[in-house]
């Protein structure tokens, strides 16, 4: 940090301003900065909209809100999407807290989804539904954990680069899933994914997504407690902050890495299970839909706090839903909604800089 | 007289966030003068000089060179005004020779003519009495040679004002004497020299004038000839301090730790520890002296179970059972489970001993969190311990839930030492425990070590200040290039004797080649 500071200081000294790291910031100031960032983002989006299309930006924002929460069906949809994204975000958090750069959540979700789908296909008619669902859940957890453990094992054994390894594991599972999608498609070979009849998660109180939401709510609480109050969670923090300290106090670093990645992968597996059994009732190679990467942003924005993640994941899903509605209503191509989402996320992430640093303007002095 | 002033600072102020590093400081240094800037760690010495050398830019104030006001916005500006700084951490390219490093980045727009440069370097070395082979590669050099390269680099660029930041921190007493001789030659040749230091005896033996800083403020300048150690300390600390360490006679000594022929080889096949054998006895303080990086860290880490050994054994004599147990190849956890109460204050406090981003309570927990069968953390007893340490060691902190990295160096060390001695250790190892600490905190730490000694712990103290080692330790073991070159009695040894032992092994090795 000091280096950055020096760099900026020396780069612009004597002229305009320099950058200073903040010691601390009161919470309302931090949220004020974030709010300003969102307002600025909306203004920039408005300018972009007007210059690229003939739309009235205010109308556009109304459409956006309408697209995200316009009907009760949309609201449920929003919550269910948030739940899945939150689930993946919870999954990557222990790994990231440990500074193990797991960008393979996408693949770990698919591994869980594949395990779930194969249970639904091969055991569907043989087991009673409650038992089937239990088997699906367990196998998705195991599959996700396995997909997370492989890179962790190589990291601890050969000190391989976990970023590249987890990324490559994504491609492996995407191809495997693509193969089975074709294999299982109905009619066979057509490429249309088969609808999985058996083992769908039950509808609670007339809401088919409620069970997903409840499961993720439970997981959120568990992960929060695990990270903050359990001994294992404490070990994760210590390993993440300093491996040297961890060794110094006698933590078995390799064991912690393996265990944490198994947990991270297992939670991804559950997300895959919820996607296949709870919402999609089918499996495709894009079932995870990029959530494995979006989740990283959700987790970082929330500073690895599972409770904050509820809000960051909701915000991101809200933006995605709203923006896609704009493209749909105004017959713009989908890139336009990506531009809007991109601008807003850029501002939100950018605001973190102003929360961590303060810009000090040099007072002009007669002699300088 | 006024014409003689090489550099003058007027009302310099610099702040970092809410911290005022320098407040309204005014100083002058004359041509042909050695000025010491004396102050405790954190008093703003280095910040002040960094502004003169163009690394920081002052918030307000003026700098004059040769009577003209100048603006120094970058190290290049500083060089243009003939100001050169030699930093504590050298910035040299390892695979280049001395001469190549010296001319690196030179922009005199002349043809690159190495022989001519080497000629000029030789002239400089002869003029001031340096010892340097311009063709020697940096990675083959000792710390003192590297420092010589840094100094010549600055002179080569024509600096008339030289600033040296803690130049003796890494040198042996003999090398320090050599450096001082060279600095005096430079002074006699009309250069203005500024030395940043916190070592009193150096100030007294070398400089003409001493400027004292305290907590970012300028206290005053005194003539070295007209002052003494206690007056300078008082200026530095702001109150009278007694500089005596009480050394009690060791009692109930028995061999607690017996290290036999341990060896440690790194990946490149270099022997970090070479047949090291010694005993650490209960109820005494064993000092370890040596040039930084001679194997002190590896030795302590080997005992603590953090360093793999390639030979030898580390026996622990358990006072409770009377059994002799080998600690070699045991992990820190296994060592603790064997009932060995081993406390270790590592050199790297925030990178190893503590976690900077965690609060004091969570840092207390590092040693004890595993206790009990529950899978959940117990924060109650660490909290009590944290509060006890804060109170008894007078730790300055807003609360027990403040992240440790926000505390000052002295307070960080109190937290670490406090936690380590809380388990009433039978062996206490401390590596450079007072590095970066102010005088009062340093004496608190010495007292804590003495207290543990009286309680019967075997204390191992790795230090860099030989005066302190001689005052504090019962026996002093000297380590050089991974070998024990001697063990002397702390009560009747001299700095010179230890200094000779420090360099002994390195020279032996040179002869072998």
Q: Where are the beta strands (DSSP E) in B173-323?
A: 192-197, 209-214, 217-223, 255-265, 271-281, 284-289, 311-317
Give the whole-angstrom CA distance, residue B58 versus residue A367.
12
ipTM: 0.76
Q: Do A234 and B362 touch (CB under 8 A)?
A: yes
Task: Assess whether pLDDT exceeds 60 at residue A5.
Answer: no
Give the whole-angstrom CA distance, residue B118 versus residue B207.
31
Q: Please choose, from the candidates B260, B258, B272, B356, the residue with its C-alpha nearest in 3D space to the C-alpha of residue B306.
A: B272
Final residue of a structural domain among B423, B447, B469: B423
Q: Which of A22, A230, A245 to mutate to test the interface with B (most CBs of B within 10 A)?
A: A245
Check whether residue B388 and residue B441 sit in a common domain: no
- Residues of chain B neighbouring A232 (CB-CB closer than 8 A): 375
Q: Do A230 and B377 touch (CB under 8 A)?
A: yes
Residue, of A49 and B3, whose pLDDT is higher: A49
Decide if B97 is inside a domain.
yes
Give the whole-angstrom CA distance, residue A123 versus residue A236.
37
Task: Check residue A172 and give its pLDDT.
Answer: 93
Task: Check residue A217 and give its pLDDT.
Answer: 92
Check whether residue B126 and residue B55 sit in a common domain: yes
Token couple for A17: 């301003």
Q: Tokens 């001319």 identify what position?
A: B103
Q: How many domains does chain B have?
A: 3
Q: What is the DSSP string of B17-67?
A: TTEEEEEEEEEEEETTEEEEEE--TTSSHHHHHHHHTTSS--SEEEEEETT
Q: Which of B305, B332, B377 sits opposite A234 (nearest CB)?
A: B377
Check whether residue B58 and residue B99 sit in a common domain: yes
Size of interface A-B (CB pairs under 8 A): 89
Which of helix, strand or coil describes residue B179?
helix
CB A49 within 8 A of CB A60: yes
CB B404 within 8 A of CB B201: no
Q: Do A250 and B336 touch (CB under 8 A)?
A: yes
Q: What is the DSSP letter of A283?
A: -
Decide if B370 is inside a domain.
yes
A134-190 pLDDT, tens digit each = 999 999 999 999 999 999 999 888 988 889 999 999 999 999 998 888 888 777 767
B265 - beta bridge partners?
Answer: B271
Q: Do A242 and B406 touch (CB under 8 A)?
A: no
Q: Do B17 and A22 touch (CB under 8 A)?
A: yes
Task: Check residue B505 and give its pLDDT.
Answer: 58
pLDDT average, residue stretch B310-334 = 85
Instruction: Return the C-alpha torsion angle A337, A339, A341, A343, nearest 10.
Output: -150
- Residues of chain B neighbouring A14 (CB-CB closer than 8 A): 57, 71, 73
Nearest CA in chain B to A237: B358
Check whether residue B286 and residue B230 sit in a common domain: no
Q: Do B333 and A250 touch (CB under 8 A)?
A: yes
Task: Check residue A367 and give its pLDDT.
Answer: 39
Separation in Å, CA A194 to CA A184, A186, A191, A288 = 6, 5, 9, 17
Q: Which of B18, B54, B370 sits opposite A231 (nearest CB)?
A: B370
Q: Which domain holds residue B195?
A: 2-237
Q: Which of A11, A236, A248 to mutate to test the interface with B (most CBs of B within 10 A)?
A: A248
Domains annotated for chain A, with CATH where assigned, are 1-53+332-368 (no CATH), 74-329 (1.10.3470)
CB B205 within 8 A of CB B184: no
Decide if B199 is inside a domain.
yes
Alpha helices in A159-283 (DSSP H): 162-184, 210-229, 231-241, 243-248, 253-273
Preceding peptide of A187 cis, ω within 30°: yes
Average pLDDT, chain B: 84
Check whether residue B263 and residue B127 sit in a common domain: no
Q: Which residues of B touch A (CB under 8 A)?
A: 16-18, 54-57, 60, 62, 69, 71, 73-74, 304-306, 331-336, 344, 346, 348, 351-358, 362, 365-367, 369-370, 374-377, 406
Check whether residue B411 and residue B507 sit in a common domain: no
Final residue of a structural domain among B423, B445, B479: B423
Check whether residue B416 and residue B509 sit in a common domain: no
Nearest CA in chain A to B50: A6
What is the CA A72 to chain-centroid distance, rounded?
24
Give the whole-angstrom CA distance, residue B48 versus residue B7.
13
* CATH number (domain holding residue B98): 3.40.50.300
Of chain A, the end-to-end C-alpha distance in Å amounts to 27
- Residues of chain B neighbouring A20 (CB-CB closer than 8 A): 16-17
What is the CA A261 to chain-centroid distance, rounded?
16
Task: Assess whether pLDDT exceeds 60 at residue A9.
Answer: no
Task: Check residue A364 and give its pLDDT.
Answer: 45
Check whether residue B22 and residue B82 sit in a common domain: yes
A105-137 pLDDT, tens digit each = 999 999 999 999 999 888 878 888 888 889 999
B107-135 pLDDT, tens digit each = 666 777 788 888 888 888 888 888 888 88
Task: Check residue A360 and give its pLDDT.
Answer: 66
Q: What is the DSSP letter of B330?
A: -
Token couple for A215: 């499961």
Task: Check residue A86 and give its pLDDT.
Answer: 94
Check whether residue B201 and residue B88 sit in a common domain: yes
Q: Do B331 and A250 touch (CB under 8 A)?
A: yes
Q: Where are the beta strands (DSSP E) in B336-474?
A: 342-345, 427-431, 458-462
pLDDT average, residue stretch A265-269 = 94
Decide if B255 is inside a domain.
yes
Q: Which of B21, B338, B355, B372 to mutate to test the interface with A (most CBs of A within 10 A)?
A: B355
Q: What percent of chain B shows pLDDT beyond 90?
A: 6
Residue B39 Cα, gap to closest chain A Cα (Å):
22
Among A279-283, A361-365, B307-311, where is mean pLDDT lowest? Answer: A361-365
Q: Do B376 and A14 touch (CB under 8 A)?
A: no
Check whether residue B463 and residue B444 sit in a common domain: yes
Task: Check residue A31 and give its pLDDT.
Answer: 82
- Residues of chain B neighbouring A22 (CB-CB closer than 8 A): 17
Give the whole-angstrom CA distance, residue A52 versus residue A46.
10
Q: Do B73 and A14 touch (CB under 8 A)?
A: yes
B221-240 pLDDT, tens digit each = 888 888 888 888 888 887 76
Q: Do A13 and B74 touch (CB under 8 A)?
A: yes
A222-262 pLDDT, tens digit each = 999 999 999 999 999 999 998 889 989 888 899 999 999 99
Q: Which of B303, B351, B415 to mutate to test the interface with A (most CBs of A within 10 A)?
A: B351
Mind spelling out the 3-state secondary structure of B397-424?
A: CCCCCCEHHHCCHHHHHHHHHHHHHCCC
Nearest CA in chain B to A246: B352
Final residue of a structural domain among B237, B258, B273: B237
Decide if B450 is inside a domain.
yes
Residue A152 Cα, gap to closest chain B Cα (Å):
22
Q: Do A6 and B55 touch (CB under 8 A)?
A: yes
Residue B270 Cα, gap to closest chain A Cα (Å):
22
pLDDT average, residue stretch A94-110 = 91
Q: Please choose, from the candidates B91, B18, B19, B17, the residue with its C-alpha nearest in 3D space to the C-alpha of residue B53.
A: B91
CB B445 within 8 A of CB B451: no
Nearest CA in chain B to A2: B16
Q: Do B332 and A241 touch (CB under 8 A)?
A: no
Give the whole-angstrom CA distance, residue B326 versus residue A316.
57
Q: Which of B16, B346, B375 sits opposite A231 (nearest CB)?
A: B375
Nearest CA in chain A to B334: A250
Task: Assess whether pLDDT exceeds 50 at residue A2.
Answer: no
Check whether residue B321 and residue B441 sit in a common domain: yes
Q: Tokens 């006890």 identify what position?
A: B388
Q: Do B74 and A10 touch (CB under 8 A)?
A: yes
Q: Do B62 and A367 touch (CB under 8 A)?
A: yes
Residue, of B443 and B461, whose pLDDT is higher: B461
Strand order in the sheet with B271-281: B271-281, B255-265, B311-317, B324-326
Average pLDDT, chain A: 83
Q: Which residues of A touch B (CB under 8 A)?
A: 6, 9-10, 13-14, 18, 20-23, 229-232, 234, 237-238, 241-242, 244-245, 247-252, 358, 365, 367-368
Report the run of H or E that residue B161 belongs to, with start and end.
strand B161-165
The pTM of the full predicted model, rounded to 2 decimals, is 0.75
Task: Check residue A257 and give its pLDDT.
Answer: 93
Decide if B499 is inside a domain.
yes
Task: Assess whether pLDDT exceeds 70 at residue A83.
Answer: yes
Task: Check residue A23 and give its pLDDT.
Answer: 64
Check whether residue B57 and residue B79 sit in a common domain: yes
Decide if B38 is inside a domain.
yes
- Residues of chain A neighbouring B56 (CB-CB closer than 8 A): 6, 9
B398-450 pLDDT, tens digit each = 888 888 888 877 788 888 988 988 888 999 999 988 877 777 788 888 988 99
Task: Check residue B329 and give its pLDDT.
Answer: 83
Decide if B347 is inside a domain.
no
At CA A117, angle to CA A114 and CA A119, rounded to 5?
Answer: 110
Task: Check residue B56 and give its pLDDT.
Answer: 84
What is the CA B83 to chain-centroid distance, rounded?
25
Task: Assess whether pLDDT exceeds 80 at residue A198.
Answer: no
Q: Rg of the Cα trace of chain A?
A: 23
Residue A146 Cα, gap to closest chain B Cα (Å):
24
Q: Which of A231, A232, A248 sits opposite B353 (nearest CB)?
A: A248
pLDDT average, residue stretch A313-338 = 80
Q: Do B352 and A20 touch (CB under 8 A)?
A: no
């Amino acid at each position: 940090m000091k280096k950055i500071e020096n760099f900026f200081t020396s780069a612009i000294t004597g002229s305009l301003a320099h950058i200073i790291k903040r010691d601390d910031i009161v919470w309302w100031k931090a949220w004020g900065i974030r709010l300003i960032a969102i307002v600025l983002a909306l203004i920039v989006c408005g300018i972009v909209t007007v210059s690229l299309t003939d739309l009235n930006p205010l109308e556009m924002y109304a459409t956006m809100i309408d697209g995200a929460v316009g009907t009760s069906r949309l609201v449920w949809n929003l919550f269910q999407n948030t739940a899945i994204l939150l689930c993946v975000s919870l999954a990557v958090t222990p790994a990231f807290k440990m500074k193990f750069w797991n960008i393979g959540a996408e693949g770990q979700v698919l591994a869980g989804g594949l395990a779930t789908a194969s249970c639904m296909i091969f055991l569907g008619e043989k087991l009673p539904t409650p038992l089937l669902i239990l088997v699906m859940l367990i196998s998705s957890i195991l599959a996700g954990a396995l997909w997370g453990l492989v890179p962790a094992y190589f990291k601890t054994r050969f000190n391989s680069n976990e970023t590249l390894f987890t990324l490559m594991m994504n491609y492996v599972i995407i191809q495997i899933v693509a193969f089975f999608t074709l294999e299982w498609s109905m009619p066979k070979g057509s490429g249309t994914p088969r609808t999985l009849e058996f083992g769908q998660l039950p509808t609670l109180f007339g809401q088919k997504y409620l069970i997903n939401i409840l499961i993720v709510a439970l997981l959120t609480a568990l992960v929060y407690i695990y990270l903050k109050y359990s001994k294992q969670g404490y070990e994760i923090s210590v390993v993440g902050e300093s491996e040297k300290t961890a060794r110094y106090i006698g933590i078995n670093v390799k064991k912690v890495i393996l265990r944490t990645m198994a947990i991270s992968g297992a939670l991804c597996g559950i997300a895959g299970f919820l996607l296949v059994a709870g919402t999609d009732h089918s499996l495709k190679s894009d079932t995870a839909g990029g959530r494995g990467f979006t989740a990283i942003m959700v987790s970082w924005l929330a500073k690895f706090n599972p409770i904050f993640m509820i809000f960051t994941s909701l915000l991101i899903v809200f933006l995605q839903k709203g923006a896609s509605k704009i493209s749909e209503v105004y017959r713009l191509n989908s890139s336009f909604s990506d531009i809007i989402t991109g601008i807003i996320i850029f501002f939100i992430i950018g605001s973190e800089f102003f929360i961590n640093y303060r810009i000090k303007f040099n007072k002009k002095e007669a002699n300088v | 007289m006024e014409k003689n002033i090489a550099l003058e600072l007027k009302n310099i102020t610099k702040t970092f966030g809410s911290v005022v590093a320098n407040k309204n400081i005014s100083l002058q240094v004359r041509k042909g003068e050695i000025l010491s800037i004396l102050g405790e760690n954190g008093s703003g010495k280095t910040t002040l000089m960094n502004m003169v050398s163009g690394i920081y830019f002052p918030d307000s104030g003026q700098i004059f060179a040769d009577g003209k006001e100048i603006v120094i916005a970058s190290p290049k500006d500083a060089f243009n005004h003939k100001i050169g700084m030699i930093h504590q951490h050298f910035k040299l390219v390892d695979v280049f020779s001395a001469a190549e490093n010296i001319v690196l980045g030179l922009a005199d727009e002349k043809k690159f003519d190495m022989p001519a440069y080497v000629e000029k370097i030789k002239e400089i070395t002869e003029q001031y009495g340096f010892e340097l082979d311009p063709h020697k590669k940096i990675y083959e050099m000792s710390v003192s040679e590297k420092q010589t390269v840094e100094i010549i680099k600055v002179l080569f660029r024509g600096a008339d004002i030289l600033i040296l930041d803690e130049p003796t921190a890494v040198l042996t007493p003999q090398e320090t004497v050599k450096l001082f001789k060279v600095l005096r030659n430079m002074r006699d040749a009309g250069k203005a020299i500024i030395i940043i230091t916190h070592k009193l005896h150096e100030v007294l033996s070398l400089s003409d004038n001493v400027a004292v800083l305290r907590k970012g403020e300028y206290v005053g300048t005194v003539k070295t000839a007209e002052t003494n150690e206690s007056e300078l300390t008082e200026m530095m600390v702001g109150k009278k301090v007694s500089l005596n360490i009480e050394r009690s006679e060791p009692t109930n000594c028995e061999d607690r730790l017996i290290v036999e022929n341990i060896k440690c080889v790194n990946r490149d096949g270099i022997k970090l520890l070479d047949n090291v054998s010694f005993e650490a006895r209960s109820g005494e303080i064993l000092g370890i002296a040596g040039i930084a990086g001679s194997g002190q860290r590896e030795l302590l880490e080997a005992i603590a179970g953090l360093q793999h050994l390639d030979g030898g054994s580390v026996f622990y004599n358990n006072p409770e059972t009377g059994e002799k147990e080998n600690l070699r190849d045991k992990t820190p956890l296994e060592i603790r489970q064997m009932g060995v109460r081993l406390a270790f204050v590592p050199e790297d406090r925030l990178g190893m001993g503590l976690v900077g981003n965690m609060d004091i309570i969570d840092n207390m927990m590092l040693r004890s969190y595993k206790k009990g069968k529950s899978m959940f953390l117990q924060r109650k007893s660490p909290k009590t311990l944290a509060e006890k340490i804060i109170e008894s060691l007078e730790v300055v902190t807003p609360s027990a839930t403040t992240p440790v990295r926000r505390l000052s160096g002295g307070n960080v060390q109190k937290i670490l030492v406090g936690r380590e001695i809380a388990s009433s250790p039978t062996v206490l190892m401390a590596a450079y425990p007072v590095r970066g600490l102010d005088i009062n905190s340093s004496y608190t730490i010495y007292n804590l070590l003495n207290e543990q000694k009286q309680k019967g712990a075997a204390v191992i103290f790795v230090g860099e200040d030989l005066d302190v080692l001689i005052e504090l330790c019962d026996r002093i073991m000297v380590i050089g290039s991974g070998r024990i070159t001697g063990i002397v009695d702390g009560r009747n040894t001299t700095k010179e004797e230890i200094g000779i032992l420090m360099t002994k092994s390195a020279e032996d090795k040179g002869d072998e080649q």
